[in-house]
Structure 1
């Protein structure tokens, strides 16, 4: 496909609390990605950094900060900020340069040295930002926000605290097999239930920590990849869509950035009860031959569904094609919501899918085989890149004890403050 770029290398700095600067973590991940690609740093013609505003001026110019630390060699630089979706924005910038013929080999790097405790809104007062408003007006920190999702799922779909605990159990088991994860210990549902309440109904083991860490990718043009390797992995789609406004109260009250679209509720984006992906005011589906087509029947789901729908449409794929997914499990309840939003099951069926074992290692459609944020914690600019790193390793057959047999198609998805979202489709 004309929008494909190759992933030649993937690298990570392990997540944790290391007490060093974000640049050091990013350089370690970049060097690992370059070694994985079998390329010298001097072959890179573009460096795309995912920004971290907590890193001061070097964080605001992350692309240049990483290029300088690796050693100036004349590469172009770019820096992208999109909160938790920053890494995918950087991937998309690199892809655009490659497809435009402005770069053959791009290095994408994201790294963070995160503070302890809750994230506070960064960047000053923003009275037009719904996320800033829910922090300042409602005092809704991220765990409180996650708890609203959890309570809504309990009220609307009948999910239970025991269902949420099973998400943590699943992800901790996968993270125990991931050498880059911060938390590498299996847990039981009883341990989750015994952990302190943070924001009812969510307990400490239901929500993710804040972490230091880094991830990097080496991307190239199709032509370069075919000269360099016989078995590349390809990025076939990158979605960086935003919500639609004005909002309607279909998922959460108006202060939530992932409410559904438009003044006309029928102009939303999401899935029907059979899990068919819908985009905008039309249905974007796939017939039995796999051809993408547009229909006419709208529905009312929200922002997260539109993130994945745009990626599916660009890739010419659908939920039924996936062998694995990496989704943004800021909380256990939010992971269940993603199952529905990326089309793995109809609304309300996520807990059933989990209980059946379909989303665990060895299941029909493993979700977060890396261990997810449950095992890593948040290192914000690195997270979307780390998701792609896991997809690449799974599709190459390099994931060790968490390997998904015969994996060929992966989807990543996450969302960030101020209406940022991202989804990447990776294939081999």
Structure 2
């Protein structure tokens, strides 16, 4: 299904401010859920389905987040669903809610994600899994995420000639936007000199090039278009596409002793990289292209990775991301602001919540209620992120 025929309405958006609050994920999620319900003007008893984005750090309640949030809000007979897709969990939850609405299984759905994250590196979850390329880079290379980000930045430097000073400008841009966002954890503008003076984490990236781990929550109240009209909502923000595609590289069963001679591993990858395919699938479903975008919310785990998203979203050709950045096109007031929320640079990672938080930002921007960070005349927005084990996601919202 594509175009307006697949639209659902965003009736409400709510968040709990990001930070380190010392509370459990249920607290952050229920605060966000109640805010979304209030924003939608919908009573909790009217919710026909609850879709929770799981957290692997919340014990058993985190593995059944949908039921956990439904119980915390007060069991009232709604169907529940729990989904996990690492950093793409929130978008998978939105996609699940959308499918239920379009199938007529519910008229209005509450989507919730929240996390209480530990300080420092996320430890790999799930034990040994030798067919997982992410586990392999942890175990064989010692490439925890900041190391991976550093290697990725080095590749961009080698291929496109970018410099650490270029990467620092991404942090400067996002910190300026985050300083205007009451939900952001870090609300202080920074200079390129402050980025350069922060400690090296994984050369060439410094502490201020890499996002933190955070607590936080985000929620959406989504409905069918018929339900929205019955409630008198004539022109809601609409979700028009949810892309949750997987890579198209050859899938192999990795036999570690023979890894160097595996012919499938040696095969040339397709010309289109995974992140670009995430965006392409969303554009095709929504019937739009990069030129239609008013803004984008992307997954800036590191400053270098944000630059890659510019190219993957089609905002510029490969190697031209820095020019786009330096020209101010992706800053507030620019042609296509990227991360007007402040991005993960300002929020940090609260894994199950972040893809939902991206759609909250699109909702507020498309409604024209984003305050000092408002993108004038915003009509079309896209989100993009990527989780472990081939989970990718993009959401297109329009008004």
**Larger RCO of the pair (alpha carbons < 8 Å, separation 6+):** 2
Q: Give TM-score scaled by structure 2 length.
A: 0.95
**Pairing partner for 2:63 from 57, 60, 63:** 60
**Pairing partner for 2:241 from 237, 244, 269:** 237
Counterparts of 2:249 and 2:123, CA distance in 1: 25
Q: CA deviation at 1:245?
A: 2.8
Q: CA deviation at 1:230?
A: 2.1
**Pairing partner for 2:297 from 312, 322, 326:** 326
CA contact (8 A) 1:244 1:262 kept: no
Q: Does residue 1:367 correspond to 2:345, yes or no?
A: no
Counterparts of 1:67 and 1:173, CA distance in 2: 37
Q: CA deviation at 1:130?
A: 0.3
Q: Deviations over 1:241-269 (max 9, x none)?
A: 01123279xxxxxx9xxxxx99464xx3x
Give the equivalent residue in structure 2 for 1:207.
210
Counterparts of 1:115 and 1:135, CA distance in 2: 18
**Pairing partner for 2:350 from 346, 366, 379:** 379
Counterparts of 2:49 and 2:151, CA distance in 1: 41
CA contact (8 A) 1:413 1:422 kept: yes
**Pairing partner for 2:363 from 385, 388, 392:** 392
In the TM superposition, 1:281-360 aligns within 5 A as 300-360=271-331
Using a 3 Å threshold, how does the CA distance of structure 1 residues 262 and 71 change in structure 2: closer, same or farther?
farther
**Pairing partner for 2:119 from 116, 127, 150:** 116
- Which consecutive residues of structure 2, in runs of 5 or more, have no partner in the other structure? 253-258, 260-264
Q: Deviations over 1:25-82 (max 9, x none)?
A: 0000000000000011001000000000111100000000000000000000000100
Task: Write 1 or 2 for the structure with the bigger share of helix.
Answer: 2
Superposition RMSD in Å:
1.3
Give the equivalent residue in structure 1 for 2:250.
246
CA contact (8 A) 1:14 1:214 kept: yes
CA contact (8 A) 1:245 1:262 kept: no
Give the equivalent residue in structure 2 for 1:276.
none
Q: CA deviation at 1:149?
A: 1.1
CA contact (8 A) 1:247 1:263 kept: no
Give the equivalent residue in structure 2 for 1:272.
none
In the TM superposition, 1:28-427 aligns within 5 A as 28-228=31-231, 229-246=233-250, 263=267, 265=269, 268=270, 300-427=271-398
Provide the secondary structure at the position in 2 that maps to 1:154: helix
Counterparts of 2:65 and 2:127, CA distance in 1: 20
Counterparts of 2:378 and 2:174, CA distance in 1: 19
Give the equivalent residue in structure 2 for 1:288.
none
Give runs of ≥4 in structure 1 deviating > 3 Å.
261-265
Q: CA deviation at 1:124?
A: 1.4
Q: Deviations over 1:117-142 (max 9, x none)?
A: 00111111111000011001110010
CA contact (8 A) 1:49 1:109 kept: yes
Provide the secondary structure at the position in 2 that maps to 1:54: coil
Provide the secondary structure at the position in 2 that maps to 1:2: helix
Q: CA deviation at 1:301?
A: 2.7
Using a 3 Å threshold, how does the CA distance of structure 1 residues 321 and 262 change in structure 2: closer, same or farther?
farther
Q: Give TM-score scaled by structure 1 length.
A: 0.88
- Which consecutive residues of structure 1, in runs of 5 or more, have no partner in the other structure? 249-254, 256-260, 269-299
Counterparts of 1:143 and 1:366, CA distance in 2: 26
Give the equivalent residue in structure 2 for 1:17.
20
